[in-house]
A and B are shown apart, each in its own frame.
Chain A
Amino acid sequence: MPAATVTTSPTPTPLSFPAPIFAALQPSSFLRAHLAPDSPSQPSLRANGRRPSEFRKPNINTGSLTHSHGSAVVRIGDTAVVAGVRGEILLADDIPNPPEREKRDFDTNSTRQESRGSGADPSSKGGGDADADAEADSLAHLQLLVPNLELSTGCHPSHLPGSPPSSLAQSLAQRILSLLHSTRLVPLQQLRILRPRARSSDLDDEGDEMLDPDAAVDGDGDGKVKGWEVVAYWTLYIDILFISLDGAVFDAAWGAVVAALGDTRLPHAWWDADRECVLCEEDGAQARGLGLRGCPVAATVGVFAPGRRGVVGGEKEEESWMLVDLDAFEEGLCREVVTVVVDCSGGGNGRIHRVEKNGGGAVGMGRMRHVVRSGEESWRNWAEVLGELGS
């Protein structure tokens, strides 16, 4: 970690401090002194020794939790997150207002094939865009994804337990939920549990009487067959716990969610007509993955502008630095923060899923390109680690 020496005039002997004290007293000048060293021979490095556009390499472990269907531990620098995904069953009859789309018949062949397949192939996109939109709407309506995030695990002195979830925790959970829906990461078809729709002659079964009107609506109540109907859904509880917090909160949490969902294996489930409940197969070999669509990765870039003090859209272009993958110290100094979520897994050009920007006007068109490029770099960074898990 190279320290910077800031000397203006050699006249009086200036105060001399160890680096940590300087950082605590004058954090902004401390970081600036690192980024703009006096001698041009010294490289522009941040206080943590990284270049401004250098990401920390994530470290991912999956499958370490026993009671989850999928789990991941993600470490980025000193930030450590544990995410666990647990599937529970929601019966279709218990849903107050199911979406109309979900009452239709399902083609068993296609769903079965996909559900039995390895699940990890992104080629299972199928359908048109409108179809995917409708599916995403249904997924959001059914509330099958329940991400929650806990910061008060003692991970940082500013988030001690004993109080309700902070607004940061609430907003992070909400952002993860909306991103899960807008990226359409989890295909709804993998969460459906189907059963054969009964013929209308089997009216003695009371469960079918309730569902008979639907059959009439669908126009196949003519005694033939049948198709498959949804009897239940898997609900995924995604619990994210921060063990240690040192910046990159959203990036780490989202990475943990993606890794945990990628690790998730839901047991094979079917409707047992005799017991009138959904049963699952214990055999782990029959469990299937979620077949995630793509691999979106979040990257956060902060703008460190020591000259600006509360001036929005300052008069002239002042010196500022774009710092990627902020640590906790830098997060306190960067007023303007941009988060991009990109996915380059489709091959060719990447896709931007989301851009969130707040805190100032330093990032214009040109700089936004730079941000997106760092997002792509971050994606490659993550994809390397996530890909190792998949293989």
Chain B
Amino acid sequence: MTDRRRINPPPGGTHPPIFASTLSTPSALRPQRPTRTRQPSELRKIFLQTSLVPSASGSAYLELSPSSPPSAPPSSAAYNPSALKLTCTIHGPHPLPRSAPYTPHLHLSTTLKFAPFATRQRRGYIRDAAERDLAAHLETALRGVVIGERWPKSGVDVVVTVLEGEEDGWWGDDVGGGEGAGGGGKGIGGGWGLMSVLAGAITCASAAMADAGIDCVDLVAGGVAGVVVEAGRTTKGKGKSGEAGLGTVVLDPCPAEHEEVRAAAVVGYLAGRDEITELWVKGDVGADAEILIEKAVEAAVSSRTVLVEAVREAAQAKFIQPAENGAAVGSKKGAGSATADVVMSG
């Protein structure tokens, strides 16, 4: 498949490098499997900053710190733990084109794209189904908070770029290192990393919305919780898999750290109103879906503290500093100030 608008790889076709160490036996790889060092109710550290893109009306950058930092960082040329990094920019509200049909509400259009270098396998430039699906989930989460009636006939573009995604599992499972390692395997389905990406995107987009000054009823924060089966308990868990308590419920699961993720839930939660605008549950939850969702809400509440802090900082920078600057410049000399009026002639 050639794309004539982009520069194409050589026609012979390329493949990612194969590392010799991954061809060894699963038992040799097992010690490299990362384990969760956090408490079950502890989230990874979130870094959130707003107003990065001056040409956009609002923007934010979110980064999750890698949960298990490697002991010797640059030792491996192949596999380093990744951390979620994403940016969100908001353009608008702008008038919709004349050709667009009348809408009484603000028209939200969300786009989510992984960078080509965001994942272990190189991604293409054309959006795939997973990215479109995530964008649709994000739109649902945001539509619930925006007061759309205030902008009839207008549109807002929410663009999320994932610079580095969450992994769907431990790399050892992909290269065969996980086979026979406790029988768990990869769990059902896959795509668990997308859940964390969505939660991050919701939080980040909410900060960008606040930065853009678009009226919202509350800040929406994303949270994930997952049902995981730990390596030691796999055999036990398998025996009574029909039971409700399938595994441990953890907040903010990092799929690479768990032998198997049974189920996961993402919520977009408004803590101020105790409302959920977005709910996505995946996997085999069993009977206690409510516990899982409650835990996801708990995660959202925790990430909200970071969100509130970032928005507050941004607001202080925006509204308090200009006043100080203006005062400083004014005292220096009025003529040279940026805020002084310019007289236009002719």
Contact = CB atoms under 8 A, between A and B. Distances in A.
Interface in A251-271: 265, 267, 269
B21 interface: yes
B82 A84 contact: no
Interface residues of B, number: 70
Nearest 8 CB-CB pairings of A with B: A154-B159, A94-B12, A84-B117, A154-B89, A88-B14, A66-B82, A267-B77, A1-B338
Contacts of A22: 342, 344
A18 B339 contact: yes
Interface in B17-32: 17-23
Contact of B117 (A14, A25, A68, A283): A68
Interface string A150-181: 10011111001110110000100110010000
Interface string A21-42: 0100110011001000000000
B334 to A, nearest CB: 10
A78 B89 CA distance: 14
Contact of A280 (B12, B18, B120, B125): B18
Contact of B115 (A4, A82, A155, A278): A82
Q: Is the interface of B mostly helix, strand, loop or mixed?
A: loop
Contacts, number: 235
Interface string B51-95: 011111001000000000000001111111111000111110010
B10 A235 contact: yes
A7 interface: yes
Contacts of B52: 80, 243-244
Interface residues of A, number: 86
Interface stretch (B1-9, B262-270, B282-290, B312-320): B1-9
Contacts of A1: 336, 338
* Chain B CB within 10 A, most for which of A26, A157, A162: A157
* Chain B CB within 10 A, most for which of A6, A95, A154, A267: A154
B337 interface: yes
28 contacts: A2-B336, A3-B336, A3-B342, A9-B345, A15-B344, A16-B341, A19-B342, A71-B117, A78-B54, A84-B115, A88-B17, A90-B13, A94-B13, A143-B9, A148-B116, A148-B125, A150-B115, A150-B125, A153-B87, A154-B91, A155-B55, A160-B159, A165-B5, A165-B6, A237-B116, A243-B87, A245-B55, A282-B77
B10 A143 contact: yes
B217 interface: no
Given A94-B12, A144-B10, A267-B19, A157 B56 contact: yes
B163 interface: yes
B20 A279 contact: yes
Q: Is the interface of A mostly helix, strand, loop or mixed?
A: mixed
B275 interface: no
A277 interface: yes
A95 to B, nearest CB: 5
Contacts of B54: 78, 244, 246
Given A155-B53, A267-B19, 12 more contacts: A3-B336, A82-B163, A86-B117, A86-B122, A89-B17, A144-B10, A146-B10, A235-B14, A237-B9, A241-B115, A279-B23, A281-B77
Contacts of A9: 345
Interface string B115-147: 111111010010000000000000000000000
B338 A281 contact: no
Contact of A243 (B53, B82, B91): B53
* Chain B CB within 10 A, most for which of A22, A66, A177: A66
A265 B77 CA distance: 8
B10 A84 contact: no
Contact of B163 (A65, A161, A281): A65
B82 A67 contact: yes
B7 A174 contact: yes
A328 interface: yes
A150 B344 CA distance: 39
A30 B338 CA distance: 13
Nearest to A23: B342
Interface string A366-383: 000000000000000000
